[in-house]
Structure 1
Amino acid sequence: MPLFLRPFLLAAGLLAAAAAGAQNSPAPAPTEEPVVVPQVQRRDVKLPRLPSRDFEVGAFAGSYSVQGFEAVAVAGLRAGYHITEDFFVEAAVGRAKVNDETFRKIFAGTVLASDRLSYYNVSLGYNVMPGEVFFGRTVAKASAVYLIGGVGSTQFNDRRHQTLNFGAGIRLFLRDWAAVQVDMRDHIFSDDLLGARRRNNNLEFTGGLTFFF
């Protein structure tokens, strides 16, 4: 081998050895970044249970105001059937004792043949705002705001009057079998108590308990 080639061959060998060593050396391990675990405080919430029972019965009491007379106490019973989650039918009966003291101050004697008032009606209701009401941070109760209207009959002054009723109310379910119900109605009928035919708007505000089965 010519002497002048030896330096070139030696340099080529050194370069090849360096390249092989670089390929065999392990790659540096990736740096592990710390994992941040969020601290989330979870609270247990008791979800409301809508009643699965379709029939209901209940009692109510409150105030009934015959137009032109003073508001008096009223009490009654109701029964209903829930056709779907939105629609229900209800039958109700109520009784009150009308106070005609105002008319006695104007007229000589009473204008009423009887101070007893009673009514019954059948109505169709629609739950427009089903939801829930929270008590504190952990307890929720199902509720429903509803619209209702129907037909019936009112016995007033010893006469029967065909009556329309409409109104709104809210139910708050204490259990899946019991609810508190607050209701406002307008009972509309016509009479000729003072000699002229007139339409009466009789407002009723009641509250009561309802039981499902």
Structure 2
Amino acid sequence: MTGRTHALPLLTTAFAAALTSLLAAAPATVAAQSQPANNEQVIVPEVDRREVKLPRFPSNDFELGVFTGTYATENFGSSIVGGVRLGYHITEDFFVQGVYAQTKVSDEAFRQVLPGGVFTDEEEKLSYYNLSVGYNVLPGEVFLGRKRAKATAVYVIGGIGSTKFNDQRRQTFNFGLGMRLMLADWAAVQVDMRDHLFSLDILGKRQSTQNLELTAGLSFFF
């Protein structure tokens, strides 16, 4: 009877310890069961994914334009000039440009003092082409009224080409500056001033001439 009395407290103590362990482990087990596995997707979408086509914005790097203005041929006065230009904008600052233009040059002033004048005819055609590199030095904008602004750029430009005048073809260097006013993303107004340097042998002596040109035109970008 005494042995059973001593065994009862021991069994009670062991049972209490086991019950305490179970109660302590139960919250952790419930929490583990309530959390989803890392690879398990909680919400399954019911809408199929659609393919999105990204918009393709035009780069408008190429430029095509026409221009007209005045060309002052040294020793022969000024005359109306007209031409076309084709350009490519390499970056926002640098661009290349090819130009072809022509004008009519008169020797009327010489005919007043020289019988027969200098040219065979009273007027001779002068034409030129060149390839130039430009750089936008002052990009900015101009305000037209209070609520409208247009982008502008002041640029410097220079290059090399050829001039044909009075049956002579001469290598020509040109340099100058201009201003571009963007009317829209695809159109602009340009004002351009350049000096064309080439040599001539018309008055009996070969000399280097400087021929100033001032033009305005419209350009389109694509």
Report the counterpart of residue 119 of structure 2 in structure 1. 112
| Amino acid in structure 2 at the alignment position of 1:59 | V
Greater Rg by CA: 2
Report the counterpart of residue 142 of structure 1 in structure 2. 151
2:196 maps to which of 183, 187, 191: 187
Alpha-carbon distance between aligned partners in 1 of 2:59 and 2:180, rounded to the nearest angstrom: 15
1:166 maps to which of 175, 180, 190: 175
Alpha-carbon distance between aligned partners in 2 of 1:208 and 1:103, rounded to the nearest angstrom: 32
Query: 1:61 deviation in Å?
Result: 0.3
Report the counterpart of residue 210 of structure 2 in structure 1. 201
Alpha-carbon distance between aligned partners in 2 of 1:208 and 1:132, rounded to the nearest angstrom: 19
User: Sequence identity of aligned pairs in percent?
Assistant: 61
Report the counterpart of residue 44 of structure 2 in structure 1. none
2:101 maps to which of 94, 116, 122: 94
Is the 1:113–1:157 contact (alpha carbons within 8 Å) kept by the matching residues of 2?
no
Structure 1 residue runs without a partner (length 5+) = 1-50
Task: List structure 1 segments (4+ residues) > 3 angstroms apart after TM superposition.
Answer: none
Q: TM-score, normalised by structure 1?
A: 0.75
Q: TM-score, normalised by structure 2?
A: 0.72
Query: 1:106 deviation in Å?
Result: 1.8
- More moved, 106-115 vs 79-88: 106-115
Alpha-carbon distance between aligned partners in 1 of 2:102 and 2:174, rounded to the nearest angstrom: 15
Q: Deviations over 1:129-183 (max 9, x none)?
A: 0000001110000000000000000000111010000000000000000000000
Cα RMSD for the two superposed structures: 1.1
- More moved, 57-66 vs 108-117: 108-117
Is the 1:67–1:201 contact (alpha carbons within 8 Å) kept by the matching residues of 2?
yes
SS state at 2:173 partner: strand
Question: 1:109–1:96: structure 2 CA closer, same or farther, 3 Å change rule?
Answer: same
Count of matched residue positions in the alignment of Structure 1 and Structure 2: 163
Alpha-carbon distance between aligned partners in 1 of 2:65 and 2:102, rounded to the nearest angstrom: 15
SS state at 2:106 partner: coil
Query: 1:110 deviation in Å?
Result: 2.2
Q: Deviations over 1:4-50 (max 9, x none)?
A: xxxxxxxxxxxxxxxxxxxxxxxxxxxxxxxxxxxxxxxxxxxxxxx
Report the counterpart of residue 92 of structure 2 in structure 1. 85
SS state at 2:172 partner: strand
Report the counterpart of residue 63 of structure 1 in structure 2. 70
Alpha-carbon distance between aligned partners in 1 of 2:120 and 2:184, rounded to the nearest angstrom: 45
| Amino acid in structure 2 at the alignment position of 1:182 | V
Alpha-carbon distance between aligned partners in 1 of 2:119 and 2:142, rounded to the nearest angstrom: 45
SS state at 1:103 partner: helix
